[in-house]
Amino acid sequence: MSAVVSEKRIYIQSGPSTSYIRFTPISQLLLGSAALALVGWLAASTSIVVLDRISSRTEVNQTLVLRDAYKTRLDELAAERDQRAAEARSAQARFQVAMDQISRQQTTILQSVEERRELSNALDLMRNRLQEAVAQRDTVAASNEALLDRMNEVSKSLNQRQGADSDLTETLDAVSAALAEAVTARDTATADRADLERQLADLELRMKVNAQRQDEMVGQIEQAVAMSFGPLEKMFERSSVDVDRILAEVRRNYSGEGGPLSGVTVSTRSFDNGNDSSRLDTVLVSLGKMNEMRIAASKIPFAIPVKDSFRFTSGFGYRRDPKGAGRRMHAGLDMAAPKGTPIYATADGVVESAGTERGYGRVVRIRHEFGFETVYAHQTKLLVVKGQKVSRGDLIGAMGSTGRSTGVHLHYEVRLDGRPVNPMTYLEAAKDVF
């Protein structure tokens, strides 16, 4: 080994004395190895630190990128939700306009039916008067013929008996007067008949015009009913409610508003109105059912309780408790928005309670018809009192974080016959209507 690595000495002089340190080949190899190991360790450590910092920066950058991506996506979803909400409000406005138009057209068509019935009665009366005038004319004509025959007989008798006595002259005068009166009556009857025929023609023309108008109105109402009735029917189908039971209850309790409408029968002897009457009956029945559905829809929680911008933070069903109590059933929807965001009733009803409850904080419970109940929890301010009647869209409170809550939000529940059901079922069913 000395041939490869020679011995090294380091001399140290201190004053008159000199000393040295000797490095044998083995010690030199050990020191060299130690130095190399140290340099390697320093290089590895530096590389690890540098890579760690680079990795940390990459992770931070990735986190920032993901955060920006999520934020962008949330903004897009919020914009899409706001657009859908605007479309829903626009659809609701169009639906209300259609309902108002249908109501006005329904009133107009019922007035038209009544006018048509009156015209029909007047037409029948005119026909009767015309028949009486014709009969009277025929009677007068027959009387005229009889008088003419009698006058001819009297004239023959006068020709045979020249210089007849005064009694025969008086008889002839009486017959002439009767004949003149009969002619006058005939002329009057003829004039009356012509006038009646003109009135009858006018009535028949009015009946035709009225029938055309009624047909146009029935067609418009059929279109309006198809546009309005379809969304309502689909909404009830998607909500999975017992439509027959609910409509039967509406007919019992709201017969003045939404009960079945009886058919309207209009008939005359000169027009065949079977098809028109059948169409009208069908339209009125559809209007009656649509009115019943409209009444029922106002009593069922189809509307959304928050109209301002918000985001869903928790859905219906089992979830991990936000307070660390394990998995629990979440019986409603959580909607987060700024503190004080207005909260609205989702259906017509009566406030069953309005106060503070354990876990719910400040809460409003509204009892609706058909066994429905809605709950609005964690509010910061209550704007209704127990026993107060509310309509769909009425302001009932403001969003907060009272009770067992981790932040500002509304906890919204829908209960049917005391059992919690998923509110999203009704919100999704009515998204194109309300």
pTM exceeds 0.75, yes or no: no
CB 290 within 8 A of CB 225: yes
pLDDT at 17: 75
Domain ranges of the chain: 8-70, 88-299, 303-429
Q: How far is CA 270 from CA 195, 203, 242, 267, 274, in A?
A: 19, 11, 47, 9, 12
Tokens for 293, please give them: 């559905």
Q: What is the DSSP letter of 403?
A: S
CB 113 within 8 A of CB 264: yes
Per DSSP, the three-state class of 311 is strand
303-429 falls under which CATH superfamily? Answer: Glucose Permease (Domain IIA) (2.70.70.10)
pLDDT at 5: 67
According to DSSP, the β-strands at 361-367 and 17-23 are unpaired
pLDDT at 169: 61
Cα–Cα distance between 356 and 110 in angstroms, integer? Answer: 52
Radius of gyration of the chain (CA): 50
* pLDDT tens digits, one per residue of 330-356: 899 999 999 999 999 999 999 999 999
CB 331 within 8 A of CB 384: no
β-sheet bridge partners, residue 376: 364, 412
Return the closest-CA partner of residue 304 out of 378, 414, 384: 414
Which residues 6+ apart lie within 8 Å of 219 measured at CB? none
Q: What is the DSSP letter of 384?
A: -
Q: Which residue has the tokens 């906890």?
A: 411
* pLDDT tens digits, one per residue of 120-154: 777 777 677 777 766 766 776 676 666 666 666 65
Cα–Cα distance between 36 and 190 in angstroms, integer? Answer: 142
* pLDDT tens digits, one per residue of 62-93: 778 887 887 888 788 778 777 777 776 776 67
pLDDT at 335: 94
Return the closest-CA partner of residue 419 out of 375, 378, 381, 354: 375
Cα–Cα distance between 416 and 350 in angstroms, integer? Answer: 15
CB 24 within 8 A of CB 36: no
pLDDT at 72: 82
Given a cut of 50, the residues of the chain with pLDDT beneath it are: 164, 257-272
Cα–Cα distance between 5 and 179 in angstroms, integer? Answer: 174
Tokens for 323, please give them: 């307070």
Per DSSP, the three-state class of 140 is helix
